[in-house]
Amino acid sequence: MMSSSDDKDKAELIAKMKRTKEQWDREALDSEDGPDETDALLSQAISMAIEQGRGWSSPEEREKYLEQLLDDDYIPPLFAENQEELEKSGLKDAFTTLHNEGETPGKNMLDFRKKGNDSIALGRKNVAKNLQYYRDAVNHYYAAFHWASRIVPKDEGFAPTPEELEAAKEDPFFNEKELNELKSIICSNCAMAHLCLKNWGFVRDESKKAVDYNSKNIKAWYRLAKAHEMLQNWDEAGNAIESGLEVEKDNKEILQLQKKLDKRIRKARVLRQQRERARAERTSRIKDVWRHTKQDNIALGRVSLVATVKDDEDENESGGDEVEARWHHHYPHTGQLPKRAQDGSWTWPVLFVYPSHHQSDFIEHFAEEEIVALRMAQMFPEQEDDCSQETEMPWDYNNEFRCSNLAVYFEVHCLTEGEKVIHPDSVERLKDQAATMRFYEASRALKGDEGPEMATVARCVERKHLHRQRKMWIQAHGSLWAKPEPCPVIQVHPAATLGQVLRHKDMVVPNFLVTMFLFPADHPAHTEFLKDHKIISIVEPQKGN
C-alpha cells in the first residue's frame, strides 16, 4: 500500500505531466505548420499515462518512467509505426506475442494448404474442366503462405514443456528448416495451380520462391523449367533442368523435358556465349578508347538519347522536339567508336553537317593525322576550268560547296568543366570509364542491337536520367524554358588536322562522333549562324602541316 507521501508525489507528478502536455499542445498550435504527427503521438501518450496513472513500485521507477516519456526520441510502443520504432520501445517481443495472441498461424497455414490441395484435386476430377477450382487453389495457397510468414520458428534445440506440447495440438510449432520446407511446398503447389491456369509468369515466380526455400524440391525445379519453356527462355530452362537433375538424376519428367528442349537450349547458349564474347570485346574497346582520350586530353560527352520521360508526354510542352532535333542526326551512327589501327594510329567517326541545306555526310574513318582540307577536297573538289560548273551534290543548287568556299566550325560544349546543372538539351561531359560504358551500351540497346527487352530497359534508364536533369535545371533556373545561350563555336582552319581539333581545350566529342558544321562563306545561313554563335577561337594548323 502506498503512503500518503507517495500519493502526494503521484499527484504532483500527474500535475506536472498535465502542464507539460498543455505547454507542448500550445507550442504545436502556435507553430506555422501546425501540429505534426509526432506532436499528436506525444500528446496522446501523455494523456494515456495521466488517465491510466497508477502507483509505481518505487519513486525511482516513477522518475525513470517520466524521463523516458519526456524523451523526444521515445515513442510508446502502441504508437510505433515501423519495426525500428518498435525495437526502440524495448517491447518488441511482447508486442509480437500480442500480435498473434488468440490466433493459430501454424494451424491456419496447414488448413489453407489442405484447402488448396483439395481444390487442385477437385479441378482434376471436374469433367467440365472448370478453372475456378484452380483459382480457388491459388487463393488458398496465398493464404497459407501468409500464415506461414507469421510463424516464429523455434530454435533447433528447442525442448517443449508438457504445456507447450498440449498447445501444439491446436497450433503446431516448427523449427526454421521445417518451416522453410513447408513454405517451399506451398509455393510449389501454388505454381502447380498457376500451371493449370497457364499463368506461366506466376509459375516461374512461385517456383523460384519454392527452390529458394528448399533447393531439393524436385517438383519446383520441373515447374520452373516448364515455365521457362513456355516463356521461351531456353537458357534458363536448361539451368533449371540441370539443377533438378542434380537433385534427382533419374527423374523421368525432367529427363523428357531435357530431351525435348536439348537443341533449343544448346542454340540459346551458343548465342549467349556469342553475346558475352561481343560484350567483352566492346568492353575492351571502350577501355582502349578511354585510355587514349585520357592520355591525349580528348574530352568525351553525351546527349540525351530519349526525348520524353513518359510515353504519353506532350513533346511540345516538354521541349521534346528540340531534344530530338539535338541528337537525331547522331542517332544512326551512335554505335560507332574510334578505332586503333595496327600501327597505333586512331581513326574517328566524323559527321559533316550542312545546316544551310539540311544535309549531312558521315565519314566512318577519319584519321587523327589527316588534314581537314584534304578530306574536304575529296568531297567538294574545286572546279578548275569553270567555276560555274555544277558540283556533284544534287542538293547544291547554287554550286557553292567547293573546298575553298567553305567555313568549318565546331560547337563548344561543357564550357565550364565540372558544372553540375546542365540543360537537358545540352551535352554532358562523360567523367569516367564506367559512365562511358553505360552510355555506349544504352545507345546500342536503343538501336535494337540487344533485342526489344534491353531496348525497353535502356529507354527507362535514359528517361530517368533525363527526368533528373530536368528536375535539377528547374530547381536551379525555375523552368525548362529558361534555356542557356546558344553554344559558342571554334572555327577550324582547313589546314588543321583532326587530331588538333580533338585536342583543343574547348572540344568535347558528343556520342563519340566528331561533329563539324560547314557553311558556304556567303550563304545567308552562315550569317544567321554567326549571329547566334559567337566565335571564341580558331584551331590553327601547327607548323610543318
The domains located in the chain, with CATH, are 100-154+169-259 (1.25.40.10), 301-312+324-382+394-539 (no CATH)
Q: Residue 324's pLDDT is what?
A: 40
Q: Residue 315's pLDDT is what?
A: 46
E-assigned strand segments in 389-474? 406-411, 428-429
The more confident residue out of 486 and 496 is: 496
Distance in Å from the first CA to the final CA of the chain: 107
Q: Residue 302 is inside which H or E element, if any?
A: strand 299-302
Q: Residue 48's pLDDT is what?
A: 53
For residue 524 the three cell numbers come to 545567308
3-state secondary structure of 537: strand
Please report which confidence band the pLDDT of residue 255 belongs to, taking 50, 70 and 90 as the band edges: very high
Q: At what angle do helices 252-295 and 433-446 cross, to 10 degrees?
A: 120
Q: Residue 61's pLDDT is what?
A: 62
Residue 87 reports pLDDT greater than 70? no
The more confident residue out of 329 and 186 is: 186
Q: Residue 156's pLDDT is what?
A: 79
Q: What mean pLDDT do residues 54-69 have?
A: 57
Q: Which stretch of 89-98, 117-126, 323-332 has the lowest confidence by average pLDDT?
A: 323-332
Residue 323 reports pLDDT greater than 50? no
Q: What mean pLDDT do residues 442-463 have?
A: 81
3-state secondary structure of 151: coil
Q: Residue 334's pLDDT is what?
A: 59
Residue 425 reports pLDDT greater than 50? yes
Residue 32 reports pLDDT greater than 70? no
Please report which confidence band the pLDDT of residue 442 belongs to, taking 50, 70 and 90 as the band edges: confident
Q: Residue 401's pLDDT is what?
A: 87
Q: How many CA atoms lie within 13 A of 116 on its CB side?
A: 25
Return the number of other C-beta atoms located less than 10 Å from residue 330's C-beta: 21
Check if the beta carbon of residue 497 is closer than 8 Å to that of residue 369. Answer: yes
Q: At what angle do helices 234-247 and 252-295 cross, to 10 degrees?
A: 130
Which are the contacts of 398, defined by CB distance < 8 A and separation ≥ 6?
520
Please report which confidence band the pLDDT of residue 341 belongs to, taking 50, 70 and 90 as the band edges: confident
Q: What mean pLDDT do residues 283-300 have?
A: 93
Residue 75 reports pLDDT greater than 70? no
Q: What is the pLDDT of residues 130-159, one digit of tens each?
A: 889 999 999 999 999 999 998 888 887 777
Q: Residue 170's pLDDT is what?
A: 79
The residue among 430, 535, 374 whose CA lies nearest residue 363 is 374
Question: For 387-451, where are the alpha helices, taking DSSP H only?
Answer: 433-446
Q: What mean pLDDT do residues 326-342 have?
A: 66
The more confident residue out of 81 and 356 is: 356
Q: Which stretch of 179-193, 294-308, 439-453 has the lowest confidence by average pLDDT?
A: 439-453
Give CA separation, 219 vs 229, 261, 534, in Å. 15, 18, 71
Please report which confidence band the pLDDT of residue 454 belongs to, taking 50, 70 and 90 as the band edges: confident
Please report which confidence band the pLDDT of residue 446 belongs to, taking 50, 70 and 90 as the band edges: confident
Q: What mean pLDDT do residues 406-410 have?
A: 94
Q: Residue 159's pLDDT is what?
A: 79
**Cα separation of 53 and 158, whole Å?**
39
Residue 22 reports pLDDT greater than 80? no
**Cα separation of 216 and 202, whole Å?**
20
**Cα separation of 159 and 197, whole Å?**
44
Q: Which stretch of 44-48, 92-96, 167-171 has the lowest confidence by average pLDDT?
A: 92-96
- Percentage of residues in the chain having pLDDT higher than 90: 41
Q: Residue 94's pLDDT is what?
A: 47
* Number of separate helices (H) and strands (E) present in the chain: 20, 10
Q: Residue 418's pLDDT is what?
A: 59
Q: At what angle do helices 252-295 and 218-230 cross, to 10 degrees?
A: 60
3-state secondary structure of 501: helix
Q: Residue 58's pLDDT is what?
A: 58
Q: In what order do the strands lie in the sheet with 299-302?
A: 428-429, 299-302, 508-510
Mean pLDDT of the chain: 81
Residue 286 reports pLDDT greater than 60? yes
User: If you count them, how many residues does the chain have?
Assistant: 545
Long-range contacts (CB closer than 8 Å, 24 or more residues apart) made by 202-211? 203/227, 203/230, 204/228, 204/231, 207/240, 209/183, 209/184, 210/183, 210/184, 210/185, 211/184, 211/243
The more confident residue out of 447 and 470 is: 470
The more confident residue out of 450 and 85 is: 450
Residue 260 reports pLDDT greater than 60? yes
Which are the contacts of 298, defined by CB distance < 8 A and separation ≥ 6?
292, 502, 503, 507, 509
The more confident residue out of 265 and 43 is: 265
**Cα separation of 539 and 500, whole Å?**
7
Long-range contacts (CB closer than 8 Å, 24 or more residues apart) made by 77-85? 78/45, 78/48, 79/41, 79/44, 79/45
Return the number of other C-beta atoms located less than 10 Å from residue 428's C-beta: 21
